[in-house]
Amino acid sequence: MMKALNCTIAFLLVMVLGVQAQNKITLHTDEADTKINREIYGHFAEHLGRCIYDGLYVGEGSEIPNIRGFRKDIVDALKDMKVPVLRWPGGCFGDTYHWKDGIGDKSKRPSIVNVHWGGVTEDNSFGTHEFLDFCQVIGAEPYINLNVGSGTVQEAAEWVEYITSNNQSPMTDLRKQNGREEPWDVKYFGIGNENWGCGGNMTPEYYANLFRRFSTYCYGAQYRIAGGANVDDYHWTDVLMRETKNVPHLINGLSLHYYTMPGGWPPSRSATDFGKQDWHDTMYEVLRMDELITKHSNIMDTYDPNKRVGLIVDEWGTWFKSMEGTNPGFLHQQNTLRDALVAGVGLNILNNHSERVKMANIAQMVNVLQAVILTKGDQMLLTPTYHVFKMYSVHQDAQLVPMHLASEKYEMNGRTLDALNASASVKDGVLSMTLCNLNPDKDIEVEYEVTGDEYTMASGQLLTSKNITDYNDFDKSTEVVTKPFKVSKPKNGKVKFTVPSKSVLLVQLQGEQKL
């Protein structure tokens, strides 16, 4: 009787308290047959605030060291982070942008008023040639958004021709007159942006027909991306997939936009002054990305069971209230440890959906929203999000490793989340596992069990900090950075370690032959 009672008590303790053994991840390396496209680690640079001007581009006459006008410190940092693809010129700005204003002699280019973002006047000194040159300098694939909202089919078609054509034609001649003899190899073209909102306030039925028309005349576009849904507008996805099903040559990708915005629209919460409830709310919101991708993918599967059309999450990241003392239209915010967790969780989710998700672009690259780099005059700093992207670059073009994750819960005020979030990949014999501990107060011991391959060595990198609100600033640029993390050698296909609270962790396993 006493033995049975002790067993019952032990069982109840397991159920109520949760034990270390429940935090277990089983990996199946023998089932790794889906590639994680490197483009999932893409970025977004819109003509917004200080992203382009005073961010990426300072001009050749600047005293700040530059390469043909591009800040050298930023170029070096982006190359080190391995940016695979860069989206430009918008965003909302893209559907007011007329590309011919941004080519030719810079002194003769007409200016443009940025009606969406702060009402500032830009001189168009950063245009098509500058963007494509910048992509070449940092080693990224260009992704260009065409103007559907206020542009014409002819304008879009001529832009594609100007960029990609090697035939004798007026646009090819114009490109050569502007100093570029050979065409650029640009693969990705977006046909409009947020056409349900700032891109024209269209219905999905109207936009679907407009997309078919624009896409028909963009002959040189290899990969055409249709403007997709906002958050959970599943009707938009259904209409676009239905109306393009019989013209598969016109569509290769469908976009999705989702921002982690605790408290909803308009953004009202501070990027730096927050407590544990805000932290929990933010983790809840970023985890919602998994549900959204799953449901949009299920609709796409109905019309495209072979997953030929990629889901392109070309705007994602945190969106908080703009920093005090800055132009609200510039969307400038700091980047804390909380943003690093959002980046880690978001990338894990995107990795795990790589069968359908073929590209993603965090918003935005410099000085705007969840930026990877911030600048102040001639100073530059790398944000916690930058360090997560650099850490996670091991997943680019690797094979996704299927996993089963059993996690304890993280609860606050009646809302419960999994405390752990993870993804894994294998490449060149190295198994890379990225793991986030969402709980800001508790270290969690986790056990990994690997089936299919044998590994004998382990190493790790960790990103965390003392406080949830910690961030890098120009006088403390190494407050939140990655550091080495010691992991014991695997035994019998298993490895155990403790994941510190509020952290992002990379653990890599490999065999003796890799040393």
Q: Which residue has the tokens 């680690």?
A: 41
Q: How many CB atoms lie within 10 A of CB 284?
A: 17
Decide: helix, strand or coil at residue 433. strand
Q: Report DSSP state, residue 491.
A: B
Sign of CA dihedral 55, 283, 288, 37: positive
For the question of residue 194 being annotated catalytic, the response is yes
Structure token digits, residue 364: 């935005």
CB 122 within 8 A of CB 111: yes
Residue 6 has pLDDT above 80, yes or no: no
Angle at which helices 384-392 and 72-81 pack, to 10 degrees?
Answer: 40
Q: What is the pLDDT of residue 512?
A: 63
Lowest mean pLDDT among 1-5, 345-349, 357-361: 1-5
Give Cβ neighbours of residue 16 (< 8 Å, ≥ 6 apart): none
> Given this model, what pLDDT does residue 341 score?
98
Residue 489 DSSP one-character state: P
Any residues with CB less than 8 A from the CB of 134 and at least 6 apart, and which?
A: 56, 57, 70, 86
Q: Can you tell me whether residue 33 is helix, strand or coil? A: coil
DSSP state of 322: P
Inter-axis angle of helices 384-392 and 337-352, nearest 10: 30
Q: What is the pLDDT of residue 10?
A: 37
- Which CA distances in Å does 149 have to 96, 114, 313, 343, 473? 7, 15, 20, 31, 38
- Residue 13: pLDDT above 90? no
Place of tokens 């392109």: 312
Q: Are 315 and 365 in contact (CB under 8 A)?
A: no
DSSP character for 438?
-
In DSSP notation, 126-161 reads S-HHHHHHHHHHHT-EEEEEE--SS--HHHHHHHHH
Tokens at residue 254, please?
């469908």
C-alpha span between 480 and 340 (Å, rounded): 9
The arithmetic mean of pLDDT across residues 87-104, rounded, is 98
Q: Is 37-396 CATH 3.40.605.10? A: no
Catalytic residue among 39, 130, 158, 194: 194
In CATH, the number for domain 19-33+401-514 is 2.60.40.1180
Q: Where does the pLDDT of residue 149 fall: very low under 50, low under 70, confident under 90, or very high at 90 and above?
A: very high
Tens of pLDDT along 234-269?
A: 999 999 999 999 999 999 999 999 999 999 999 999
Residue 125 pLDDT grade (very low, low, confident, very high; cuts 50, 70, 90): very high
> In the numeric block, which tokens belong to residue 2?
């006493």
DSSP string, 228-256: EEETT-HHHHHHHHHHHTT-GGG-SEEEE
**Closest to 339 measured CA to CA, from 140, 504, 501:** 504
Structure tokens at 385: 């999000």
Q: Is 447 a catalytic residue?
A: no
Residue 447 and residue 496 in contact, taking contact as beta carbons nearer than 8 Å:
yes
Q: How far is it, in rounded angstroms, from Cα 475 to Cα 273?
A: 19
SS (H, E, C) 66-106: EECCEEHHHHHHHHHHCCCEEEECCCHHHHHCCHHHHCCCH
Sheet with 494-499, edge to edge strand ranges: 403-406, 24-28, 444-451, 494-499
Strand partners, 510: 457
Question: With bands split at pLDDT 50, 70 and 90, how would you rate the model's confidence at 357?
Answer: very high
Average pLDDT over residues 108-119: 95
**DSSP secondary structure, 4-15, as one string:** HHHHHHHHHHHH
Q: Is the pTM of this model over 0.85?
A: yes
pLDDT band at 14 (very low <50, low <70, confident <90, very high): very low
Q: CA dihedral in degrees (369, 362, 64, 49; nearest 10)?
A: -40
Among 391, 320, 316, residue whose Cα is nearest residue 353? 316
Domain ranges of the chain: 19-33+401-514, 37-396
Mean pLDDT of the chain: 94
Are 117 and 48 within 8 A, CB to CB? yes
Kindly write down the DSSP assignment for every residue of 333-381, as one continuous string: ---BHHHHHHHHHHHHHHHHTTTTEEEEEEE-SBSSSS-SEEEETTEEE
Q: For a pLDDT cut of 70, what percent of the chain falls above it?
A: 95
Q: Which two structure tokens, joined as six digits, stand for 225?
A: 């991306």
pLDDT band at 22 (very low <50, low <70, confident <90, very high): confident
Q: Which of 390, 353, 416, 396 minimizes the C-alpha distance to 504? A: 390
Question: For residue 108, with 0-12 CB atoms within 10 Å meaning exposed, 13-18 middle and 19 or more buried, which class applies?
Answer: exposed
